[in-house]
């Protein structure tokens, strides 16, 4: 009996494995996978609550406000990441504090978003040498991440997830049943401020991978898809984080072998996953966490 089919199978498997592992011969790809994995987990988990609370536009606005902070930091000679963090944190805290007072929040947020972009352009006008870095901030440049940046992202990610875990129970309660939560004594404004500060940190992490203009790619796409096909909090969080990691890593792989922009590949995969999940009948989700007595 001929062993040719077996030989062909082994050869094909070996070739496929070689093709996949070739990209890990480069340090910049290893760094990119590590950074993208951190950003995907953080954005997938934090974004799940952002979608659940209906505050996706606020998250989008924070990313644009962060752009002004990053360009401002470049103007004064600081690392763009720190300007991004400071501006998004300040904006998140202010937006959270005003969330109960502003009746037409989308309009107010939109005005602040436009103003932030205007300041970003002003800072670029006075610091034209920052233009290349500004492009990376807008659209992401995960292939340029180094070990120091990975350490910083891991630290920011750990702080973000730890803060989210600390506030998660009142956050879920106030998101699903705000009137009852307020009656039970849950400080809604404090929860809102804390959560948007957490979102600000997550945006800072995510923007390093896909840029401020495509933060929706990882912070909204995977969570929105997960909420279409899951019925519980924990299953939704796991699916959201899993989708985000899959999209980020598959996007990196596709970009490596096609020479397409990484952010474009991730954005396409995120949209594809969401549209596929839309085709699935929407699940009816029960209350996901019992309120505190």
Under DSSP, the state recorded for 289 is S
Higher-scoring residue by pLDDT: 131, 57:
57
Which helix (H) or strand (E) element contains residue 47?
helix 27-52
Q: What CA–CA distance (Å, rounded) separates 208 from 272?
A: 22
Q: What CA–CA distance (Å, rounded) separates 264 from 270?
A: 10
Q: What is the mean pLDDT of the chain?
A: 82
User: What is the average pLDDT across 118-142?
Assistant: 73
Higher-scoring residue by pLDDT: 9, 89:
89
Residues 6+ apart with CB under 8 A from 114: none
Q: What CA–CA distance (Å, rounded) separates 56 from 220?
A: 7
Task: Give the chain's domains with CATH numbers.
Answer: 26-278 (1.10.3470.10)
Residues 6+ apart with CB under 8 A from 285: 227, 230, 231, 232
pLDDT tens per residue, range 12-23: 455 555 556 678
Residue 251 has pLDDT above 90, yes or no: yes
Residue 207 has pLDDT above 90, yes or no: no
Q: What CA–CA distance (Å, rounded) separates 76 from 125?
A: 13
Q: What CA–CA distance (Å, rounded) separates 115 from 200?
A: 18
Work out the end-to-end distance of the chain between its first and last CA atoms, rounded to an integer number of angstroms. Answer: 73
In this prediction, residue 128 has a pLDDT band, given cuts at 50, 70 and 90, of low
Q: Which of 54-58, 232-236, 265-269, 287-291 has the lowest mean pLDDT?
A: 287-291
Residue 284 has pLDDT above 80, yes or no: no
pLDDT tens per residue, range 65-113: 888 888 888 778 787 888 888 888 888 888 777 765 544 466 667 777 7
User: What is the average pLDDT across 128-135?
Assistant: 65
In this prediction, residue 140 has a pLDDT band, given cuts at 50, 70 and 90, of confident
Sign of the dihedral through C-alpha 194, 196, 198, 200: negative
Higher-scoring residue by pLDDT: 101, 44:
44
Residues 6+ apart with CB under 8 A from 39: 153, 157, 205, 206, 208, 209, 210, 218, 248
Could you tell me the two tokens for 80? Answer: 């763009």
Closest CA to 230 of 167, 281, 291, 170: 281
Residue 131 has pLDDT above 80, yes or no: no
Between the CA of residue 173 and those of 52, 139, 179, 198, 292, what are the distances in Å?
Answer: 11, 35, 10, 17, 8
Closest CA to 95 of 208, 198, 213: 198
Per-residue model confidence (pLDDT) at position 227: 92
Per-residue model confidence (pLDDT) at position 182: 85
Give the percent of the chain with pLDDT over 90.
35
Is the distance from CB of 142 to CB of 36 less than 8 angstroms?
A: yes
Could you tell me the two tokens for 25? Answer: 């011969």
């Amino acid at each position: 009996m001929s062993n040719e089919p077996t030989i062909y199978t082994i050869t094909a498997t070996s070739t496929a494995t070689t093709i996949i592992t070739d990209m890990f011969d480069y340090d910049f790809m290893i760094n990119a996978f590590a950074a993208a994995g951190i950003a995907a987990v953080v954005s997938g988990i934090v974004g799940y609550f952002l979608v659940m609370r209906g505050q996706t536009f606020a998250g989008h606005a924070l990313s644009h406000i962060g752009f002004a902070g990053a360009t401002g930091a470049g103007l004064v000679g600081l690392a763009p990441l720190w300007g991004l963090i400071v501006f998004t944190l300040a904006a998140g805290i202010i937006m959270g504090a005003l969330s109960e007072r502003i009746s037409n929040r989308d309009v107010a947020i939109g005005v602040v978003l436009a103003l932030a972009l205007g300041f970003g352009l002003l800072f670029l006008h006075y610091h034209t040498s920052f233009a290349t870095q500004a492009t990376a901030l807008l659209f992401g440049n995960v292939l340029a991440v180094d070990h120091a940046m990975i350490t910083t992202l891991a630290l920011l990610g750990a702080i973000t997830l730890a803060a989210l875990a600390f506030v998660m129970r009142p956050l879920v309660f106030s998101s699903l049943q705000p009137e009852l939560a307020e009656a039970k004594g849950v400080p809604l404004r404090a929860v809102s401020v804390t959560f948007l500060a957490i979102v600000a940190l997550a945006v800072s992490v995510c923007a390093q991978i896909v840029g401020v203009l495509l933060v929706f790619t990882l912070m909204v796409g995977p969570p929105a898809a997960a909420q279409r096909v899951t019925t519980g909090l924990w299953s939704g969080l796991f699916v959201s984080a899993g989708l985000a990691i899959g999209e980020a890593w598959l996007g990196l792989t596709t970009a490596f072998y096609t020479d397409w922009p990484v952010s474009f590949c991730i954005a396409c995969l995120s949209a594809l996953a969401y549209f596929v999940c839309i085709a699935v009948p929407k699940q009816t989700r029960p209350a996901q966490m019992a309120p505190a007595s």
